A and B are shown apart, each in its own frame.
Chain A
Amino acid sequence: MIQYFEKYIRQGEPGKIVKNINPQKSMLQQQLRQHQWKSFRRNPLFERNLAVRIFMFIMFGFLALEFLALGFVFDKFLLKTGTYTLAIDVFNSILLYVFLADLVIKLFLKQNQSMQIAPYLTLPVKRSRLFDFLLLKEFGSFWNWYWLFLIVPFALKSVTPYYGLETAFLYILFFYLLCIAVSLIVNLIHSLISKNGWFYIAPVLLVALSLALPFLFNVPTGDYTQRAGDGLLNNHPLMWMGLIVFLASLWICNRTLMRTAVYSELQGEKTEKISSFSSLSFLDRFGAIGDFMNLEIKMILRSKRLKQQTILVALLCFWFFVMQLYIPNNIYQRADESGTFAMYLYCILTLGTLGLIMGQYIFTSESSFFDGLMVRRSSLFDLLQSKYILYSSYSLLITLLLLIPAIQGKLSILFLLSAFFYTIGPVFFLIFQNAVYNKTHFDLFDKGMMNWKGQSGNMIAITMITMFIPILLILIIKVIWGQTTVCLFMLITGLLFTLTVKYWLASTYKRFLKRKYKNMEGFRN
């Protein structure tokens, strides 16, 4: 039987066994890195999600290129503010806001390094080594690298001529280490929040305080950070000592919290409190459809990933759209087509948020209990109908809220009405096609918004088509026939799709039934 293992076991001294818990540190790190790579590469979803990975890679590449391009002109942009004579001084004076932005982005989008270390805990490996490994992963994390695309060209251009190349590199290194410090703070906040929801207040207070100091209490925080930056540029050793102490403290705090987190992870979430929401009793009147609507609401509220995505994106869309309406000379008022495009895109996104977010996961979100649904008396056609009614009700609610700016004359009522029907008509028709093609397993309890598990190439393609094709169509009509015709077109097509919803949902369902075995197999894997 030894031939099966020969490849994996190194030749050791016969009879010699490990007697301490300190195997060579570098060997351990290497092994853990290998395991991490294998778990990624051997994941059954690796090939299936290849399209999603390519898409993400392109998106991140695009972001990196944008940052890189901005980095080369950033100095000129900063000098226009006129607060300091050197661009690097201006940048240092806004450093607090840069890191605040970094903190907020990471809080929402970055997940803590996975604590899946249970298989190693009983091996002769010190726990602190495992925690160190997880923390060391921060150095390679994209979240700590993305700023560098902006900072490297900017620092080389703005620091080198006055302080030399060596200082420019030290400045970049310092900035990068501060990004890691922000990540460690975010890890701490996430760990604390997972223990108690009240810790959400901590980042809110941190951001509020940082903004209140300069704007409410006139504390010149910009001057302080500029002076600190100046100290760094002049190679003041205190700056580096301060950073090392800061990083070391964060490291120790993270390690301590991880030690307790590992116990709760091993214990599972047995102490999880149940949601106070039980059901919307008035939906009981609608029979199976009402039951499914209640089920969908519970699913959104009890899956962290869906809840975060839905609530945050809905709030952002609504806030962004309404704020834009009230900002003078906003993008919507531009005479060219970019204004029209932005107006239609954001309006449809705002009205259709729930449908677009949840619509892309139709049936995939039920994948973990799909077998159970298939053997029950209830029909999945009822489930499809309930989803449509729920998403449309949300759109109606947002339309009613947007009546306020419409009555104030910020938005045409005809446009709003047309956009509503257009969203619940052709836009939802397109997104509901996901019901036919979705066949990936979706783990409802996986955390984090930037979690791409369960996404597929089909899903992204249909969502992109849903978001852009209807808008391109109305842009073409606007160019040829003008605004009123566009509204009428949206209203008529919207009404047509809305009035025939039962038929196209039935056709979608029939097409799903033809692929059901294939899809169900995907849901199980």
Chain B
Amino acid sequence: MELQINNLVKRFGDKVALDISGLQIEKGTLLGLVGNNGAGKTTLFRLILDLLKADSGYVLSKGADVSQSEDWKVYTGSFIDNRFLIEFLTPEEYFAFVGETYGLGKDDLSARLSTFARFMNGEILGQKKYIRNFSAGNKQKIGIIAAMMIQPEVLILDEPFNFLDPSSQIEIRNMILKMNREQGTTVLISSHNLNYTTDISTRLVLLEKGIILKDLTNSPEAIEALDEYFIQKAES
């Protein structure tokens, strides 16, 4: 079991942001987390990454509690938002910094970055700009590349399609699929883009107000059920 969530509860004041009694994620799963705003997707990711303290319950990564052991950091790549970026660095400096923390040498780093050349579209490297001066889309790309270039065993991306142009959305979709299929990476993505999420995920989890409403293996019926749910929500 790659990830195991047990009785996980997180409250913000009186409001319950997340309440998951149990969720197991097998190695190699590509899990798409869907739900409207405030469903608890980002909160769940933050708890898995030990960025929030759970009010009760725990997350096990390869059997170790993420809040007790930091071993998960070695094999987990993630990007939630711009707070992951060191904005006073140039992208080159940032990639080198992240690479060094994972023991990547210059050649390895350069080789790994070259696999993202199409995704970068000539707009990331060699721009002589600090990250803070990049557009929202390109900042998103920098964060995603930094998470993926370490070739993690677990990849967590929050809203990876946000801010990206259509070509980049297709590119990131293909990269995630390739990583999952070729390296057996366990991937957790959340998105409001139902088409892309259902297109690539092997498993779909629907959250509403912090509770898992549906946990489905991807199939035409599952997609239909999700469509129905969102249409109903829009009409209600």
Chain A interface residues (CB < 8 Å from chain B): 268-270, 272-274, 278-279, 288, 291, 295, 298-299, 302-303, 368-372, 374-379, 444-445, 517, 520-521, 524
Contacts and interface: CB of A to CB of B under 8 A. Distances in A.
B155 to A, nearest CB: 12
B119 to A, nearest CB: 20
B101 A378 contact: yes
5 contacts: A272-B130, A288-B101, A302-B130, A368-B83, A378-B101
B132 A374 contact: no
A303 B88 contact: yes
Given A376-B73, A517-B52, A270 B129 contact: yes
Given A371-B81, A376-B102, A445-B132, 5 more contacts: A269-B132, A369-B85, A370-B83, A375-B50, A444-B87
Contacts of A375: 49-51, 73, 76, 78, 84
B24 interface: no
Contact of B51 (A299, A302, A369, A520): A520
A372 B73 contact: no
B15 interface: no
B74 interface: yes
Nearest to B73: A377
Contacts of A376: 73, 98, 101-102
A278 B93 contact: yes
Contacts of A269: 132-133
Contacts of B191: none
Nearest to B84: A372
Contact of B85 (A268, A291, A372, A521): A372
A269 B131 CA distance: 11
B51 A377 contact: no
B87 A369 contact: yes
B69 to A, nearest CB: 12
Contacts of A270: 129, 133
Interface residues of B, number: 31
Given A288-B101, A375-B76, A274 B90 contact: yes
Top 3 nearest A-B pairs (CB, nearest first) are A517-B53, A372-B84, A302-B88
B130 A374 contact: no
Interface residues of B, dominant DSSP: loop
A369 B83 contact: yes
A298 B88 contact: yes
Contacts of A368: 83, 87
Nearest to A366: B86
B163 interface: no
A371 B101 CA distance: 15
A270 B134 CA distance: 7
Contacts of B117: none
B133 A298 contact: no
Interface of B: 49-53, 70, 73-74, 76, 78, 80-81, 83-90, 93, 97-98, 100-102, 128-130, 132-133
Nearest to B147: A375
A273 B90 CA distance: 11
A371 B84 contact: yes
Nearest to A376: B101
A371 B51 contact: yes
A517 to B, nearest CB: 4
A517 B54 CA distance: 9
A273 B127 CA distance: 11
Interface centre among B80, B85, B101 (most CB of A within 10 A): B101
Contacts of A299: 88
Given A272-B130, A272-B133, A298-B89, A371 B80 contact: yes
Contacts of B90: 274
A188 to B, nearest CB: 26
A268 to B, nearest CB: 7
A444 B52 CA distance: 23
Contacts of B73: 375-377
Nearest to B88: A302
B211 to A, nearest CB: 23
A274 B130 CA distance: 7
Contacts of A520: 51-52
A291 B51 contact: no
A159 to B, nearest CB: 52
A272 B88 CA distance: 12
A416 to B, nearest CB: 35
Nearest to A521: B52
B70 to A, nearest CB: 8
A273 B97 CA distance: 21
Name the residue in B83, B84, B86, B132 with the highest tally of chain A Cβ atoms < 10 Å from its Cβ.
Answer: B83
Nearest to B80: A371
A77 B85 CA distance: 57
Contacts of A521: 52
Nearest to B54: A517
Contacts of B83: 368-372, 524
A299 B52 CA distance: 26
A274 B101 contact: no
Contact of A377 (B50, B53, B74): B74
A250 to B, nearest CB: 32
A379 B88 CA distance: 20
B199 to A, nearest CB: 27
B130 A369 contact: no
A376 B50 CA distance: 11
A370 B87 CA distance: 12
A524 to B, nearest CB: 7
Contacts of B76: 375
Most chain B beta carbons < 10 A, residue from A288, A298, A379, A445: A298
B104 to A, nearest CB: 11
A268 B133 contact: yes
Contacts of A272: 129-130, 133
Nearest to A370: B83
Contacts of A302: 88, 130
A379 B69 CA distance: 12
A524 B80 CA distance: 13
B128 A274 contact: yes
A269 B84 CA distance: 21
